Structures are given as C-alpha cells and as structure tokens.
C-alpha cells in the first residue's frame, strides 16, 4: 500500500504523506488536465503543485526534452526560491545528467537516493541547488519522451517504495498526454508561421540574386562598349557569385520538397572521409577550417546525403561562427561514423535552440535559414542523428552519427 515518501526533516523528524492524499492529488491532477484550459504554463504549474502537495515534495518541475539537440529546456516549476530560479540554466544537455537518460531509456520513474558515484549531476546544478534524494519522471506519450518531471525535497534524503514510483510514473503519463497536446498546438502554429515565412523569405531570397543578375545583364546589353575592363570584370564576377547563390537557393528549396515528400533514395557506396571533406572545404574556400580526420578513414554511406550534411554544417560554421573551426571524424565503437563540426562563434541563441533544425529559423544573421534544416532532414533520411550542443565559454558543436548499411528508400 502506498504510504508516501519517508522524509528526514532538517530537525531529524520523520514526515510521511498519506495514501489518500496522494490519490486525491492524482484525481485533482486529472481534473486539472481535463478541464480544457489550454494556458499551458498555468495548467502545468498547477500540476506541479498538485504533485508536490500529494507526495510531500518541496520542488517539482517540468522540463522539455529536445532529442534532436540532446537538450533539456526548463518549462515550469513549483517551489523554487528566487535564487534557485536565477541559477536555473536556460538549457542543459541531457547527456550531462545520467538520471534523465536512464528514465527515458526505461520509460519509468528513476529514484536516486543520493547523488554521487556513477550518478552524474552537472556542476551548475550542484552549485545552485541543494541536492539530496530526487526522482526523475519521464513524460512519455506514444513511445516518445516529451520531457521529464523532477521531484525532490530541498537538500534532504527520502525513500520511495515501488508503489510510489509506479504512481509517479502514472502521473507522468497523464502530464505527458497534456504536454503532447501543447506540442501539437505549438507545431500547428509553427507550420502556419512557416507557410507565411516561406512566401516572404523565399521570395525575398530568390529575388535578391535574380534582380542582381538581371541588372548586370541589362548593363552589359546597354553599355558594354562604354565599360572599362575593370568594370566588365566586376560585372562578370558579380554575375558568377549571384548565379551561384541563386542555384544554391533553388537546390535548397528542391531538397526540402523532396525530403518532405520522402522522395530521397539512399544508395550507400564506400568512400574516403578525409578526401570527401577536403573537397567540400575547397569548394567553400575556407582555409580556416582545420580537418582532423584520419587519412585512411572510410565508410559506406550515401555520398549525396553525406555531402549535403557536411557542406551545410561547414557553411553554417563559416557564415555564423568564428575560428578555430574544426571538422573531425571517427568510427564509433558501434561502427557508426561520427562527424563533428565545431566553431567558436557566439553559438545558437537559447530561444532558437529548440527550433534550429526547422526551416527558416534565423537569428540576427543573414540567410534563408535552410541549411541546418536540410542537413537534419538528410540525416533522418539516412537513419542518422544530428544533434547540437553549445561549447564553453562560447561556440557551437554539431555531431552527426551516421550508420552504414544497404541501400534503402526513406
């Protein structure tokens, strides 16, 4: 029978929560989530409060999980002090917090009696929060981990029995169902925004090189005999640059269309990684890129998909990052190819991290915002993963994990 977590208070007293309080909290939580109120933050804050009251936790929070970027994004919390809210990071790689990884893998609440040993807790969390026992509840819907609920008693140690862990997992399932609705609504709004952005940005991006090319041709037609050799050379150079830009934009838009419709065929062949990367770097005319790839490293993969992913990642680093820029590759123990592109520029703004692989996601920099989306889509078409993490003190790292295998259609 559920008897509530056993808490050891600051004065050494034992505090327990009663089963009827926990079950009442579960019923109250169900009513909150089923009330049809879609102010997401308000509802989830009330859900955190209900869990805290029912189980006797001081702090309960919900974080979103972005698997593409391996990131945890704090969303709402109950019981944090103002100092703790200030210390809360805007994002955190899930790989730096082992309990989150285990909870996602097993699909069940993970209880940690005392951090330490093999239990990894990031330094910034240890510094900003008194950590004792804690529970991580995966928010899973239709087999997808959408986020996590974190529960603890500030700096104190407590025990949870199997029944309480099961009940917390059930609570997580209820919250996940609501969170999925929030995400679906957010995605629908995002799709509507993308439609508007596509018309505005694509037409603008296509119009700029097209207008430049038209103007140069008109000038040559009308005044070619009057222009100096230097002026003619500059016009031809500009025609070459703008024609290349226009071709790249058209190729990007066609790629997006093919990838969205699933019309991309993956046909793996064997090739040398360093030679392929060196050729891509040469086309980018980017001498500042350092290549750290063994000369004899080969893989079996689709060359077009590999080239499009690597080209877009490197072009993104050149355009938006800062030296030192590095591209490295190795064979992982599971025989997948790992390709890593790093730069030491400003990195990705926190507000954009969750959507960096969406088309037309742009920060302050110029560009159509298609490169990372195309790279990510080609990675998925190949059965690969492409993730992002920020570097300290600043910079960006993109990691491609590419499987090898027979040809297949997406």
Please write the tens of the pLDDT for every residue from 19-43.
Answer: 545 555 555 555 555 554 457 778 8
pLDDT of res. 42: 82
Domain ranges of the chain: 6-187, 201-261, 265-409
Q: Which CATH architecture has domain 265-409?
A: 2-Layer Sandwich (3.30)
| DSSP structure class, residue 355 | G
pLDDT band at 410; cut points 50, 70, 90: very low
Q: Which CATH number fits domain 6-187: 3.40.50.2300, 3.30.450.40, 3.40.50.1000, 1.10.287.180?
A: 3.30.450.40
pLDDT band at 112; cut points 50, 70, 90: very high
State the number of CA atoms in the 13 A half-sphere of 137 facing the CB: 25
Distances (CA, A) of 194 to 76, 79, 187, 252, 363: 27, 37, 10, 16, 15
**Mean pLDDT within 398-408:** 72
* More reliable by pLDDT, 41 or 378: 378
* More reliable by pLDDT, 151 or 45: 151
Question: Quick one: which of 274, 354, 342 has its CA closest to 314?
Answer: 342
Fold that domain 201-261 belongs to in CATH: Helix Hairpins (1.10.287)
pLDDT of res. 292: 95
Whether omega before 393 lies within 30 degrees of 0, making that bond cis, reads: yes
Mean pLDDT lowest among 54-58, 199-203, 225-229? 199-203
CA distance 320 to 173: 40
* More reliable by pLDDT, 67 or 234: 234
pLDDT at 111 over 90: yes
Residues above pLDDT 70, as percent of the chain:
78
Q: How many residues in total does the chain contain?
A: 410
Q: Are strands 325-331 and 14-15 parallel, antiparallel or unpaired?
A: unpaired
Asked, colleague to colleague, whether 201-261 and 265-409 share their fold, the answer is no
**Mean pLDDT within 102-125:** 85
Q: What is the pTM of this model?
A: 0.50
pLDDT of res. 57: 93
CA distance 161 to 152: 15
pLDDT band at 333; cut points 50, 70, 90: confident
Phi-psi group of 367: left, alpha or beta (phi > 0 → left; psi -120 to 50 → alpha; rest → beta): left
DSSP symbols for 110-150: EEESS-BTTB---HHHHHHS---SEEEEEEEETTEEEEEEE
pLDDT of res. 148: 95
pLDDT of res. 138: 96
CA distance 269 to 237: 36
Which residues fall within 8 angstroms of residue 73, CB to CB, at 6 or more apart?
63, 64, 65, 66, 90, 91, 353, 354
pLDDT at 314 over 50: yes
pLDDT at 188 over 60: yes
Mean pLDDT lowest among 37-41, 198-202, 209-213, 365-369? 365-369
pLDDT at 2 over 70: no
> Could you tell me where the DSSP H helices lie in 198-228?
203-223
pLDDT at 395 over 80: yes
Mean pLDDT lowest among 44-53, 254-263, 382-391, 397-406? 254-263
């Amino acid at each position: 029978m559920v008897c509530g977590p056993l808490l050891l208070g600051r004065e050494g007293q034992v505090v327990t929560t009663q089963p009827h309080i926990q079950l009442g909290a579960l019923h109250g939580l169900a009513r909150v989530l089923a009330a049809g109120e879609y102010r997401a933050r308000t509802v989830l804050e009330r859900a955190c409060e209900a869990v805290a009251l029912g189980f006797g936790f001081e702090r309960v929070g919900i974080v979103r999980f972005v698997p593409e970027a391996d990131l945890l994004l704090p969303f709402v919390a109950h019981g944090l002090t103002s100092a703790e809210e200030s210390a809360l990071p805007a994002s955190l790689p899930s790989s730096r917090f082992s309990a989150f990884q285990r909870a996602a893998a097993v699909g069940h609440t993970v209880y940690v009696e005392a951090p330490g040993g093999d239990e990894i807790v990031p330094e910034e969390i240890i510094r900003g929060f008194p950590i004792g026992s804690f529970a991580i509840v995966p928010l899973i819907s239709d087999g997808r981990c959408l986020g996590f609920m974190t529960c603890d008693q500030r700096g104190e140690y407590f025990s949870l029995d199997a029944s309480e862990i099961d009940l917390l997992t059930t609570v997580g399932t209820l919250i996940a169902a609501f969170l999925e609705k929030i995400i679906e609504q957010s995605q629908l709004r995002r799709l509507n925004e993308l439609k508007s952005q596509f018309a505005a940005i694509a037409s603008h991006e296509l119009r700029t090189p097209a207008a430049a090319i038209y103007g140069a041709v008109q000038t040559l037609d009308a005044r070619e005999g009057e222009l100096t050799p230097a002026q003619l050379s500059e016009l031809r150079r500009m025609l070459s640059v703008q024609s290349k830009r226009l071709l790249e934009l058209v190729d990007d838009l066609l790629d997006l269309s093919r990838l969205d419709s699933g019309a991309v065929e993956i046909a793996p062949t064997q090739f040398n990684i360093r030679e392929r990367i060196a050729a891509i770097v040469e086309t980018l005319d980017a001498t500042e890129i350092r290549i750290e790839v063994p000369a004899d490293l080969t893989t079996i993969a689709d060359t077009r998909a590999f080239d499009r992913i690597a080209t877009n990642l490197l072009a993104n680093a050149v355009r938006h990052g800062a030296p030192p820029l590095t591209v490295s590759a190795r064979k992982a123990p599971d025989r997948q190819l790992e390709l890593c592109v790093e730069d030491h520029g400003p990195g990705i703004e926190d507000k954009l991290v969750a959507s960096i692989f969406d088309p037309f996601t742009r920060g302050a920099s110029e560009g159509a915002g298609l490169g990372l989306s195309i790279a990510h889509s080609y990675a998925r078409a190949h059965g690969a993963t492409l993730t992002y993490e920020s570097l300290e003190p600043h910079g960006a790292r993109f990691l491609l994990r590419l499987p090898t295998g027979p040809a297949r259609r997406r």
